[in-house]
């Protein structure tokens, strides 16, 4: 499953601009699968046409294998435009190496890799190989796309199974299969193309929603132990069985836990104290081995090594709570942004992360045991989505908490004084939600030199030169962080004879496409909420040409307001922006964009005009 997730991430997020003349094309992909005596045998064939030098990145071929997945029979050659074979793969040029990722300690995933090039364009790479598996959860998760910008001219998926072998399947942007039955077998065949290239757009849904996909799972499977996709309860029971025997804690660890909570009566405070202990004593390292990365390491392993992946750390902390008799639940979720919807009508392995759910008498506690952020804060990574709670005979979906507008608030207090030369600008910013996560991660994981560089180039508002900064938070369990910095900007005050124009410090806003160019829906997983108070010092002799300036707009998509007034020798601007979370189809994008363009227009103006 780790390999599958890696492929999906590559497919969905490797986005470049689409041109009519493609660098490469997937001319043909043929996938033939057979289930024979419980073994999965898969033969794959590809023809990739390389049209120019830019397309040569597709000449590096990586074929996955692992302890569970055996790959063999690799053949490859290049043919020219006349179909003549001009080069063949030398088996000595196939390199086996680990596909270990930067955040992993160990993975049992490997690749067999080779590169095959020619010096005359266009040319076509043809390669094939076989995969065999004895244990598997997916028969196939078929996406006949090698890159989001590469068209697929023709793709075929053929599955042959024994007549009594039960499967479930679903397809997206692929016609229903042609089914043929013999005396002993059933043969399914799907055909697909991908020629209407999908381009990522601002706040669009996952691009996987718009690709041809076929998913096929066995109704009964063997993967470490026997399991079933009959329904979510059955799949949950399989997960539950994987966890058995993994919660035993060493004697010394039990003593440590007892000492930490000995004088605490409240369960929530016990959990908080122990969560701090988890954060301080362990670290997140991906460890993908054994049953495809789905079985966690035992709690004792984490105690001994002081690290683990999401499964191991969650199981470890659940074991701690088991020991002090506080019930908690190992919970599967698909994490990341944008949010992917779980298809509840298709029981299958659809998660990529594990968190812990703790129902107390008066409130629910949600913990990401890989996080160093505030206690009981899931954040944008796992908020507001269906999560499968694992429990014997009663596994079920529960909803993770959603971020409300107040939970994603960005507040800027900006004070500007017109010193000679470059005006001094003091930012005192307070962040929650996505910006809290961004600044917290920056503060925790980068050197002072890198922090300054990132703040200067990516965080400081455009047009401002960063002079110094300070990052601070109230306490470790506050999901609020403060960033203060001094900057200069010589374009704030503009003198024109007896007039003075003061520039607005605009909100940083997404650059949504114009309606005539937008092809995909808008998916806002959580609200965008910003509030500014900007104070400009002005010479005593200047006054507003109008007593005040006010503008507001309110729609189903959100609200925006602007107020400007004079107070003593200062001009004060107070702005507020709220864009509601939601899924807005293309059919109403015009209305959404009309609301949004009013905000952009207001923010882009020089709002403040003064005269002597």
Q: What is the pLDDT of residue 462?
A: 87
In the predicted structure, residue 505 carries a pLDDT above the cut 70:
yes
Beta strands 528-537 and 570-579 are: antiparallel
* Cα–Cα distance for residue pair 513/521, rounded to 1 Å: 11
| Most distant pair of Cα atoms in the chain: their distance | 97
pLDDT, the chain, mean: 92
Q: What is the pLDDT of residue 607?
A: 73
Q: Which helix (H) or strand (E) holds 7?
A: helix 2-13
178-214 confidence digits (pLDDT tens):
999 999 999 999 999 999 999 999 999 999 999 999 9
Q: Nearest Cα to 395, choosing from 351, 425, 437?
A: 351
Q: CB of 285 within 8 A of CB of 306?
A: no
Q: What is the pLDDT of residue 19?
A: 38
Q: What is the pLDDT of residue 560?
A: 98
In the predicted structure, residue 5 carries a pLDDT above the cut 50:
no
Provide mean pLDDT across the span 433-459: 94
Q: CB of 566 within 8 A of CB of 608?
A: no
Q: What is the pLDDT of residue 495?
A: 85
Q: CB of 297 within 8 A of CB of 312?
A: yes
In the predicted structure, residue 105 carries a pLDDT above the cut 90:
no
In the predicted structure, residue 27 carries a pLDDT above the cut 60:
yes
Rounded to 10°, the helix 251-261/310-323 angle is: 70
Q: Please name each of the domains of the chain with its CATH number.
A: 2-218 (2.60.40.3140), 228-399 (3.10.620.30), 405-611 (no CATH)
User: Token digits for 414?
Assistant: 């900006």
Q: How many CB atoms lie within 10 A of CB 438?
A: 17
The terminus-to-terminus CA distance of the chain in angstroms comes to: 70
Q: How many CB atoms lie within 10 A of CB 340?
A: 18
φ and ψ of 274, to 5 deg: -70, -30
Q: What is the pLDDT of residue 491?
A: 87
349-361 confidence digits (pLDDT tens):
999 999 999 999 9
The confidence band for 292, taking pLDDT boundaries of 50, 70 and 90, is: low
In the predicted structure, residue 10 carries a pLDDT above the cut 50:
no
Whole-model pTM? 0.90
Query: Percentage of residues in the chain with pLDDT exceeding 90?
Result: 83
In the predicted structure, residue 497 carries a pLDDT above the cut 90:
no
Q: How many CB atoms lie within 10 A of CB 176?
A: 9
Q: What is the pLDDT of residue 283?
A: 93
Q: What is the pLDDT of residue 291?
A: 58
* Cα–Cα distance for residue pair 207/262, rounded to 1 Å: 50
* Cα–Cα distance for residue pair 421/499, rounded to 1 Å: 18
The confidence band for 421, taking pLDDT boundaries of 50, 70 and 90, is: low
More confident residue, 67 or 235: 235
Q: Which residues are registered as beta bridge partners of 485? A: 427, 469
Q: CB of 335 within 8 A of CB of 366?
A: no
């Amino acid at each position: 499953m780790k390999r599958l997730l890696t492929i999906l991430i590559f497919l969905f997020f490797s986005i470049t601009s689409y041109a009519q003349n493609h660098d490469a094309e997937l001319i043909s992909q043929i996938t033939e699968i057979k289930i024979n005596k419980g073994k999965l045998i898969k033969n794959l064939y590809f023809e990739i046409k390389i049209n120019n030098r830019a397309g040569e990145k597709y000449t590096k071929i990586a074929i996955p294998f692992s302890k569970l997945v055996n790959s063999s029979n690799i053949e490859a050659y290049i043919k020219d435009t006349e179909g003549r074979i001009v080069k063949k793969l030398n088996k000595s040029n196939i390199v086996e190496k680990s596909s270990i990722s930067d955040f992993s300690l160990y993975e049992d995933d490997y690749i067999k890799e080779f590169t095959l090039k020619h010096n005359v364009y266009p040319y076509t790479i043809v390669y094939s190989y076989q995969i065999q598996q004895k244990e598997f959860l997916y028969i196939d998760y078929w996406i006949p796309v090698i890159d989001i910008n590469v068209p697929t001219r023709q793709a075929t998926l053929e599955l042959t199974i024994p007549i009594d072998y039960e499967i479930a399947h679903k397809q997206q942007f692929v016609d229903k299969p042609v089914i043929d039955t013999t005396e002993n077998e059933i043969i399914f065949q799907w055909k697909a193309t991908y020629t209407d290239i999908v381009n990522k757009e601002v706040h669009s849904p996952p691009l996987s929603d718009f690709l041809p996909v076929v998913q096929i799972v066995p109704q009964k499977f063997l993967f470490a132990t026997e399991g079933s996709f009959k329904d979510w309860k059955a799949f949950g029971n399989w997960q539950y069985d994987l966890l058995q025997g993994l919660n035993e804690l060493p004697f010394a660890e039990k003593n440590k836990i007892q000492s930490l909570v000995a004088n605490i009566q409240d369960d929530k405070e016990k959990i908080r104290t122990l969560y701090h202990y988890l954060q301080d004593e362990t670290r997140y390292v991906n460890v993908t081995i054994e049953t495809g990365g789905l079985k966690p390491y035992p709690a004792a392993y984490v105690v001994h090594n002081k690290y683990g992946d999401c499964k191991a750390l969650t199981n470890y902390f659940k074991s701690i709570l088991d020991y002090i008799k506080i019930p908690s639940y190992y919970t599967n979720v698909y994490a990341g942004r944008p949010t992917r919807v779980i298809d509840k009508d298709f029981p299958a392995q659809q998660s990529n992360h594990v968190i812990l759910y703790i129902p107390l008498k008066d409130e629910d506690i949600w913990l990401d045991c890989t996080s160093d952020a505030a206690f009981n804060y899931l954040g944008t990574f796992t908020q507001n989505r269906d999560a499968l709670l694992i429990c014997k005979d009663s596994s079920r979906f529960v909803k993770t908490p959603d971020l409300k507008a107040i939970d994603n608030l960005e507040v800027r207090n900006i004070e500007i004084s017109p010193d000679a030369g470059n005006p001094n600008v003091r930012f005192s910013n307070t962040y929650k939600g996505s910006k809290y996560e961004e600044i917290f991660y920056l503060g925790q994981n980068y050197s002072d030199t890198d922090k300054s560089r990132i703040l200067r180039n990516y965080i400081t508002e455009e047009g401002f030169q960063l002079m110094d900064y300070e990052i601070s938070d109230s306490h470790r369990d506050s999901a609020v962080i403060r960033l203060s910095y001094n900057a200069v900007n010589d374009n704030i005050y503009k003198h024109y004879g007896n007039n003075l124009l003061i520039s607005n410090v605009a909100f940083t806003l997404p650059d949504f496409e114009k309606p005539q160019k937008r092809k995909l829906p808008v998916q806002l997983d959580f609200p965008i909420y910003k509030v500014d108070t900007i104070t400009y010092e002005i010479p005593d002799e200047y006054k507003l040409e109008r007593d005040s300036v006010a503008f507001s707009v309110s729609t189903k998509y959100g609200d925006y307001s602007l107020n400007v007034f004079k107070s003593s020798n200062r001009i004060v601007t107070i702005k507020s922006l709220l864009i509601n979370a939601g899924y807005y189809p293309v059919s109403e994008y015009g209305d959404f964009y009309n609301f949004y363009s009013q905000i952009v227009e207001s923010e882009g103006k020089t709002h403040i005009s003064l005269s002597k």
